Amino acid sequence: MGDSMKQDFPIFSRQVNGRPLVYLDNAATTQKPACVIDAMTQYYSLSNANVHRAVHTLAGEATEGYEACRKLLKQRYNSDYVVITSGTTEAINLAAHAWGEHNLQPGDVVVLTEMEHHSDIVPWQMLAERIAIELRFVPVEDGELDLDALEVALDGAKLVCVVHTSNVLGVRNPVEQIISMSKSAGARVLIDAAQAVPHELIDFKETGADFMAFSAHKMCGPTGIGALLISDSAFSEMHPFMGGGDMIQTVTLEGSTYQTNEHKFEAGTPRIAEGVGWAAALEWMSQIDLESHHKRLLKIAKNVAGQLEEKGMKVYSTLNPGDAAVVSFTHPTIHPEDFARLLDAQGIAVRTGHHCAQPLMEKLGVNGTIRASFYIYNDDSDAEIFLTGIDRVLEAMA
C-alpha cells in the first residue's frame, strides 16, 4: 500500500548514496505529492499576483486559490475562524500575543506540560517575563502525563496548553479528558496539534478547545505555512499584534480601524503559493483513509520497536492504540548522530537530537534520541530496510 502511494511523490524516484531513499523523518516534515508541487508551480507560472487588493484577473485567481486553503481548513476541522500563519510556532506565538497579552494579568496561571515542544514553552516563558504570569508544568511519568498532577495544577488556571501527540514519543495524550478538566476549572485550552493532524481528523468545535495550532508541512503540504484555529468566544477577546496592510479597514493620521475577521491577524502579503499548495494537499488527503493507515503504521512501528529492543536498544515510545507511529530509541554506546550518519550512508533518513523538547529529554535522562517516524507512504519494506540498516551499523561499530 505504501509503495503504490510512493508513485504520487516525485522524491521517491531518487537515490541517496546509491540506495533507494527510505524516508523515516516524517515527524519533522513529510514529503509532498506531485499535485502540491504542480499547484505551486502553476500559481507562479500562470497566476502570480498579490491577493485581496486588486480587481484584475490574476489577482482574482490568486485570491481564489489562496482563500481556498482557508475554506478547506474550516471544512475539514470544523472551525469558524482560521488564521493562516507561517506554522505551528507562529500560531502559538500569535495566541500568546493576541490573546495572552490582553487577557492575562500578573499572577495568572498558565498550565503547560513537560512533554511540550519548545514552541509551546518559550512563548509563554517570554510572556511570563513581560507580565509575570505563573507557569505550572504537568509532569510526565512513564511516558504519560500525570492527570492527578494536572488536576492540582488547574487550581486558578486561566489557560492550559497541551501537545495533542508528542513529537518525541508519539504518545497521543487524552486531550478530550484534559479539555474537559480544564473547562471545568474555568480555563481556556490551546492544543498543539502539529503531530496529530497528519494522522487524525479532528473536529475542533467538538473538542471544546479554544485554540488549535498545526503546520502544513507535517501533512504533505508546503513548508512555511500553518494555521491557528480559534473558538468564537476566544476570537472576540483577541487584539491584533502586528499592524500593516490588509488587516485594516481604515487608516487616517489620527488612527486606524481593523478588520473583524481573521485578516486582522494577517498583516502584509500572505504566503500565497504555500496556501495554494496546502489547498492541493488538503484535497489530496481528503481521499486518504487516515484511520486505516494509522493502524497499519502503528503495527509496523510496534514491530520495529520490538526488534530494536531485541538488538539491545532502549525504546522510549510506548506505541499504545491511538499513538503516532514514532519510534524513539538510543543505543547504549553509539551516539545518536553517529548512528544516523551510518544509516544515511545506506539511504535511510532518520532524525536525531533533542527534537526541540529538552525538558522531556531531561526527564528521560538522555541528551537526545534517534527517531524513526513512519507516514502514509511507508510500508513493511521500508521497515525491513531500516532494520537491516540497523544491523549493518551494529556490525560496523562492533
Q: Rounded CA gap, 190 and 211, in Å?
A: 5
Q: Can you read off the three cell numbers belonging to residue 369? A: 534520541
- Comparing CA positions, the residue from 156, 110, 116 lying closest to residue 130 is 110
- Comparing CA positions, the residue from 305, 333, 352, 325 lying closest to residue 393 is 333
How many other CB atoms sit within 10 Å of the CB of residue 124? Answer: 24
Q: Which of 69, 161, 220, 356 is catalytic?
A: 356
Q: Which residue has the cell 520497536?
A: 305
Q: What are phi and psi of 42, to 5 degrees?
A: -65, -40
Q: Rounded CA gap, 189 and 147, in Å?
A: 15
Q: Rounded CA gap, 334 and 332, in Å?
A: 6
**21: Cα within 13 Å, side-chain hemisphere:** 15
Q: Rounded CA gap, 150 and 148, in Å?
A: 5
- Comparing CA positions, the residue from 294, 245, 284 lying closest to residue 69 is 284
DSSP string for 137-179: EE-EETTEE-HHHHHHHTTTEEEEEEESB-TTT--B--HHHHH
Chain centroid offset of residue 325 CA: 14
356 given a catalytic annotation: yes
Residue 209 near residue 232, CB atoms below 8 Å: no
Q: Can you read off the three cell numbers belonging to residue 156? A: 486558578
Q: Rounded CA gap, 261 and 372, in Å?
A: 40
Q: What is the dihedral of CA 97, 102, 107, 113, to 10 degrees?
A: -40
Q: Which residues are catalytic?
A: 356
